[in-house]
Every structure is written in C-alpha cells, then in structure tokens.
Structure 1
Amino acid sequence: MSSTVDRTQPGDTTSSSVGGSRLLKVLRGSAGIAIAMAVMNVGTYAFQMVAARLLGPSQYGAVAGLMALLMVLSVVQLGLQATAARRIAAAPDDVAAIEQTVLTTTWRAALVLGGLALAASPAVWWLLRLDGLLPAVLLGLCVVPVTVMGGQAGVLQGERRWLPLSLVYLSVGVPRVLVGGLALAISATEASAMAGVLVASWLPVLVGSWALRNRKHGAIVTAHDREVRRDVRRETYASSIALLAFVALSNLDIVVARQVLDDHQAGLYAGGLIVTKAVLFLPQFAIVILFPSMSTAGESRAAVLRGLAFLTALGAACVAGAYLLSGVALVFIGGDDYDGVQDELWLFAVLGGLLSVLQLLVYAGLAKRGRWTKYLVWLGVIALLGAGALATSVTALAVTAAVIDLAVVALLVALQVFRGKAGTETLR
C-alpha cells in the first residue's frame, strides 16, 4: 500500500477525561447510534410539525415538496455514505485509498450538484407553485452541505466509529428544529423555512470535518490503489442510482400531490406524510448498524433477517398506534387544520412501514452489489408517477403509493430468496 492513514482520533479510545462521562460511553457503542438517530429524527419531525402549524396546509405543502426534492437532489450523499461504509467494512486493507477517494469525490460532487440545482431553480419554482424563486434557490444551496455530510458519515460508519458518527447525526436534527423554528418564528414563509434548513445543514459538516481532521494520506501511486479508487467511484455511481430510485419512490408522491390535488388537499397529504416519515425514520438506526454486517461475508443473511423481523414488528405497532390514537397523532401533525386527514393517518403509517422495509432491502442489495435491486425500485417509481397522476383524492393517492410499495417489497424479498438459493453474493 502506498498510502497510509492515521485512524487515531481524539474520542475514539477510552481516556480519563472522556471515560468519566456516561453519555459519551453510551454514544461510543451501537446504542449511541440509536439514541443519536432518534434525536435526529425527532428534530426533523419537530421542524416539520412547527412548519405545518406556522405555515398552514397550503404553504406547508410547498415546503414539504421542497424537502422531498432536497432528498432526491442529495441522493449522492446516500450513495457516498453507502459506498464508503461497505468498502471500508469489506476491505479494511484499502481504507486509505477508499477514504481519500470518497472525501475528495464528496466535495466535487457536492459543488456540481449544487450548481445544477441552482440552474434548475426556475423549474422547481414552477413545479411546486412556490410564492417566489428564492425558496428554490435556497434548496439548491442546501444540496452542497447535505451531500458533503454523506461522505463524511460513510467513512465513520465503515470504521464503526459510533461516537463521532453519533455527534454528526445529533447535529443534523437538533439545529434543524432550533434554527428552522427560529427562522419561521421571525417570518412564516417558504423562504424562511429553507433559509433555516440551509444554515442548519452546515453544522453536521463542521462536526464531520472535526472528526476527520487528523487524516494523513499519502499519494495514490500503486496500480492497486488506483484500481481501488476507480472501483470506489464506479460503486458510488451505482449505489447512487439505486438509492435515487428509493428516494424518488419515497418522496415523489408529494410532488405528484402538488400537481393533481388542490393546494389544501395537497397540504393535507403533506400532513399525513409527517406520520409516514416518522415511521420510516424511527428505525433507521437499525439499518446504519446492520449495513456493515450486511456487507461482510458470513454475517449478511442473518443481518437482513434480523432487520426484516425488527422493522416489520415496529411497523405493525406504529400502524396500530396511528389507528387507535389518531386524535393524538393529529395534534403532532398540525392540529385541527389537518382534521380532514385524521381517518387516513393509519394508512400513512402503513406507507411508512412499507418504506422502512423497502429501504432495508435496498441496502441489502447494495451490500452485495446486486444489479437488479435498482431496476425493480425504478419500476416502482414509474408506476407511482403513472398511477399517481390518476388519483383524485388524498386517500386514493395514499392507497396507490402503498400498493406500489408493497409490490416492490414483495419483488425484493423474492430477489433475496433467489440469491440465497443460488448461493451467490450478486445477481448477474
């Protein structure tokens, strides 16, 4: 190997100053990821709740559409994180080349994507029927820090450095609700909401940069290291395509709603999606923890089965809760302004449960570099856009999305079974 990396970071080993803190001890383990991601998701959810209350259904529908597009536009973040985590876990001998390539590619990709998003801001303005161009411009600027955070998190995840990764996740959720809520309190507009999101999005980048600040890389000069670099870039591209399909499938229904429903109905749908996102994001820590195991020979099958069992049970509990406590759920999505969707909140919980299982199966495919996963999910996206355009009500669109997600989940489960029976790690 021609390049070396100093992987010793302050906070990674037990010391008298850090070891005395019970909180930091918890954050060092996988339990810390669960706590940090729970806080992150609560913060993200709280921001949506604050926005829904302060903006009302019509304007909140536009903000929800902007946030959905942000997820789609920043999909390279997920691809970089998945690639870095998988490669570092599966090939620890190539850590230096992988990390150097990921971190360099991350910044380049972030700037390119941000520029493209800015250029497309007039189209976003038209597509989401925004009050002005500024919210769309701010959306484009948000792409840069969100993408950078993905590459940094992937390196930390692959090394299973749970403490700094936990701090990154904590810095995603808490600042979003605090900064975003403050911006909305000052001015309850679409532009204020996105300005708050933009400022908050740079904080996890600062934390990630601090965690990786002592990296020392030599030049990539050997043929082996150059091949590792090329392969990492190819895998990042392939992972991004697969994750783009998932992000599109889980977010484009609100964009469809803004096109086929009136502003009030689209706002009600966006309110229901707060329940969907809560159920989807609640167990995300399990995927973060399991993904390195899914990428490691001998651990993959058991990790996938554990994940499916956990997510299915949790999803069923959330659906039951949304059905029995719909009045309580209504309070958390925005109150009486959204009472038109109260009876359908359990359906949105079903949608979130299906998406959480689908996300696990997508990552299971990425862990084995399977080729068919992305094709099946893209078929779901095409079906959603086609069938969703025929919906005439909130309920019809939610049912359409749920049926399509269920079909894709069934296909991906069948794909996993086929892989297992074939005794291969990839489907060619």
Structure 2
Amino acid sequence: MAFNNTTPRARLASMQDGALRGAILVGVGLAVGQVMAYLLSLVAARSLGPDGYGVFGSMLALLMVGGVLALGIQAAGAKRVVLAKPHGRSSAGSGIVRWSLSAALGIAIATAVVSPAVTWLLHLDGPWLVILVALNLAPFTVGGSLLGVAQGREAYARLAAIYAVIGIGRAIGGIVIVVVTQSLIWTLVGMAIGTWVAVAACWLLAKPLVNWPGEKLANFRLEVFHATHALLALFVLTNLDVLLARHFLTAEEAGLYAVGAVVTKIAFWLPQFVATIAFPRLTDHRRAATLTKGALAVVLIGTASVAFVALFPSFVVAFIGGSAYEELVSEIWIFAAIGASFALAQFLLYSQIAASKRGAIVVLWIAAALLIGLVIAFHASVLQIALIVLGVALTLSLVGLVELFFERSKEGRVAQYAN
C-alpha cells in the first residue's frame, strides 16, 4: 500500500501554485484575443475608410450583444461540469457541447429573422450584413461551450489556448480579407470562416475533456437563460454611458468621451482572468476563501490601473487618442476608475451566478435605470456624465461587497453553530 506523505500545507501550496500558473496562462490567452481584436479594428479602420468602418463598428456591436449567449453557455457549462460527479464530468462536457450546437443554430436563425428590422434601425443598404453577423455568432456560441468545459475542468492550458485560438482565427480571417478586398461583406465572411476554423481546432483541444455522445442535461436551458440574462444586464449597464454621451453631448464632446471609454474598457477587462480562474472555485466548497481572495485581487488590479492612469495621464491620452484629445488629460483617471469599479461588479456577479443567486440581476437593471435617469437630468459636460457613471459603478460594487460581507457572516455563524 502506498501512502501519501504530502502535508496539508504542501498540498495547499501546490494548489495555490497551480492557480497562479493558471491565472498567468489564462491572462495571456485573454490578452492574445484582445490584441487580435484590436488589430482587426485597426486594419479595418484603415482599409474600409470612415463610412465603411462606421458600419463595421455597428456589426461588431451586434456581435458583442449576440455573443452574450456564448458567455452564458460558458458560465452555465463550467458550473455544470464542476458540480458533476468526477466520473460524469466528461459526459456532462459533451452534453454541453451538443446543446450548444442547437443554441448556435437558434441564435443564427433568430438574428437572420430580425435582420430586416436591424437593417432599418441601422440604416443599412440591405440585410446581408446582419445575416453574416448571424453566421459569425454560430461558431462563437459553440466556442463558448468549449470554453465552459475547459473552465469547469480547470484545464487552464487548454482554456488559455481556446481563448487565443478563437481570437486569432476570427481576427486573421477578417484581416486577410479586408486587406485584399477592402469589402465589408467579404470581411465578415472572412471572420466567419476564421471563427469556424478556429472552433474546429478548439474542438480538438477540448476533445480529451469530453466523452461523446454525452448525457442529456436537465434544466440546462434555464441555467443558460439566467446566466445570459445576468451578463446581458451587465453588458447593457457598462455600455450605456457611451450611447448616452453620444445622444446628449456635442459631436466633439462625444468623441472625447469615446476615447475615455476605451480606457474604461481596458481597466474593466484587465482583471477578467481573475473571475475566469475563480469561477469553478466559487461553485463548490472552495467558495468562501475564493470570494475574499478574488475580490481582493480585482481591487488591487483596479487600484493599480487607476494609479497608473492618474500618474501618467498625458501618456495614456496620447497613446489612446493622440494630441487632439489633450483636454481629456485631467479627467482620464475617472474613466479608469469606472472600469475598475465595473470589474469588481463583474467579479461579484460571477460569484452570484456560481451560487445560483438571482438578486444581482434586479440590482443591475435598477442601476441601469438610475444611470439613464441621472444622465437625462445632468449632462452638461464629459466630466459630469463620467462622474455620474462612476457614482453608479461604485454604488453597485458597494452593494455587492455588502452582500458578500453578509454571506461570509452567515457562513461564520453556521460554522460556529455546527461546532
């Protein structure tokens, strides 16, 4: 008989080292995807010209909205895999992938059905661009299931690789075609082909984690719905300010705000790897310790990003927008603070999804309504709108932290009573 002489402290250190390596790997994978998306936008802006790129930006926005379903499948799938019995995780994983195929078909058909309305709303020449968006959403949705399986199995190297491959495939497909053809339609075709090829490659990466054909997943559709609803509410809240600024400010001021919003997005996505790594641990017995450590990590990263922007505002503004946006220098740190605050809110939202709690969804929609009401009442300048958004973001994060505090206090009382 073999004995395990590893001490509890050594096992804990090993798990912490594994989590750290996983965080680095996933952070790199996410960064690769973000950089490739930025390169695609940069090349498209130069190749399509202002008018064409304006339409392309609208199509990217549609992809982001439709892509929330993939995020919901990823979150619900990761949770289902974590909670499955060890011998059933491969079957659960393949069931998730199989379910995503029908979801991909569904969102593609739904997007195509509403294409005439979207065409009218965005003043497009025809429905073909929206239909091509539908063809892009289908593989992206399947990719969400592969990410969920790898995330739930805590296979961080595979998870990072899937993030990177999907980002590279979609971007390369679009970049090559837009440079060669300078056609918006063919660019979306190239992105769709690149994404399908990338997802096929990612299936090979995820294949060792699944056991085909897999099991039927009871109530999985409902779990995906709740996760998608929560993430959609967060998506709406974190993108409202740019739309409101566009509506209420002058064209020049709206441009200034849009540059500030880029800093917001960077600060928002910087700690994303923390939630990605923490999510499986927020689902099982490791939840209590992970909540505190994860929230602290997000706060520290957010504080560092705000401090950097506050110390080097001129550099940040010049790097993001150029010399034409110099008047934003004194206010740019506020946008970093907005992103950092929403990043904490995002982590706390994932902790709610992991625990099957629904209250956060209501809070998010209330925050969105509050933001709209305040900006309607006060919109005299870029600074005024930014301060309102910061106030809402900080309040939302504070509400989440208070809920976290009460959860930990309740767990402490239960443990004390049990002892």
1:90 aligns with 2:83: yes
- Contact 1:89/1:159, CA 8 A, preserved across alignment: yes
Name the % identity: 30
Match of residue 323 from structure 1:
310
Task: Label 1:193 to 1:362 Cα distance change in 2 as closer, same or farther (>3 A).
Answer: farther
Task: Label 1:150 to 1:367 Cα distance change in 2 as closer, same or farther (>3 A).
Answer: same
1:36 aligns with 2:29: yes
1:350 Cα deviation from its structure 2 partner: 1.4
> What secondary structure, in the 3-state scheme, does the structure 1 residue paired with 2:278 have?
helix
> What secondary structure, in the 3-state scheme, does the structure 2 residue paired with 1:272 have?
helix
Structure of larger gyration radius:
2
Task: Label 1:374 to 1:126 Cα distance change in 2 as closer, same or farther (>3 A).
Answer: same
Q: 1:233 aligns with which of 221, 236, 240?
A: 221
1:207 aligns with 2:201: yes
Match of residue 5 from structure 1:
none
Match of residue 400 from structure 1:
388
Match of residue 160 from structure 1:
154
Aligned residues: 393
**In 1, Cα distance between equivalents of 2:398 and 2:52:** 36
After TM superposition, list the pairs within 5 Å mapping 1:116-127 onto structure 2.
116-127=110-121
Match of residue 69 from structure 2:
76
1:305 Cα deviation from its structure 2 partner: 1.3
- Contact 1:51/1:60, CA 8 A, preserved across alignment: yes
**In 1, Cα distance between equivalents of 2:199 and 2:321:** 31
TM-score (norm 1): 0.79
- Contact 1:56/1:337, CA 8 A, preserved across alignment: no
Letter of the 2:133 partner, please give it.
Answer: L
Match of residue 296 from structure 1:
284
**In 2, Cα distance between equivalents of 1:92 and 1:288:** 21
Letter of the 1:270 partner, please give it.
Answer: A
Q: Deviations over 1:326-368 (max 9, x none)?
A: 3332343243455564443322211211121111000111111
> What secondary structure, in the 3-state scheme, does the structure 1 residue paired with 2:219 have?
helix
Task: Label 1:69 to 1:369 Cα distance change in 2 as closer, same or farther (>3 A).
Answer: same
Task: Label 1:175 to 1:217 Cα distance change in 2 as closer, same or farther (>3 A).
Answer: closer
- Contact 1:65/1:254, CA 8 A, preserved across alignment: no
Q: Deviations over 1:221-265 (max 9, x none)?
A: xxxxx6xx2233322221111111112212333344444445554
After TM superposition, list the pairs within 5 Å mapping 1:52-201 onto structure 2.
63-93=56-86, 94-128=88-122, 134-186=128-180, 194=188, 197-201=191-195
Q: Deviations over 1:105-142 (max 9, x none)?
A: 21111221122223333444454566775544433332
Match of residue 301 from structure 2:
314
Higher helix share: 2
- Contact 1:47/1:177, CA 8 A, preserved across alignment: yes
1:144 Cα deviation from its structure 2 partner: 1.5
- Contact 1:59/1:267, CA 8 A, preserved across alignment: no
**In 2, Cα distance between equivalents of 1:36 and 1:145:** 19
> What secondary structure, in the 3-state scheme, does the structure 2 residue paired with 1:423 have?
helix
Task: Label 1:356 to 1:96 Cα distance change in 2 as closer, same or farther (>3 A).
Answer: same
Task: Label 1:122 to 1:395 Cα distance change in 2 as closer, same or farther (>3 A).
Answer: farther
Q: Which has the higher contact order (CA 8 A, sep 6+)?
A: 1
Letter of the 1:349 partner, please give it.
Answer: A
1:376 aligns with 2:363: yes
Q: 1:363 aligns with which of 321, 328, 350?
A: 350
**In 2, Cα distance between equivalents of 1:409 and 1:295:** 21
Gaps of 5+ in 2: 1-17, 413-419
Gaps of 5+ in 1: 1-24, 221-225
Letter of the 2:303 partner, please give it.
Answer: A
Instruction: Name the stretch that deviates more: 93-102 or 112-121.
Output: 93-102
Q: 1:281 aligns with which of 256, 269, 277?
A: 269
**In 1, Cα distance between equivalents of 2:176 and 2:326:** 26
